[in-house]
Amino acid sequence: GDVADVLVVADLKQFVPILTEKIQAL
């Protein structure tokens, strides 16, 4: 549903910066 898609996008937006920080830490 649309709500589920919004939640997934929100999770990705929170996850991507954390992932990039970990990549840069390498």
Handedness of CA 6, 8, 14, 19 (dihedral sign): negative
Percentage of the chain exceeding pLDDT 70? 100
pTM of the model: 0.43
Domain ranges of the chain: 1-26
> How far is the C-alpha of 21 from the C-alpha of 9, rounded, in Å?
19
The pLDDT mean for the chain works out to: 91
> How far is the C-alpha of 9 from the C-alpha of 16, rounded, in Å?
10
> How far is the C-alpha of 6 from the C-alpha of 21, rounded, in Å?
24
Three-class DSSP category at 1: coil
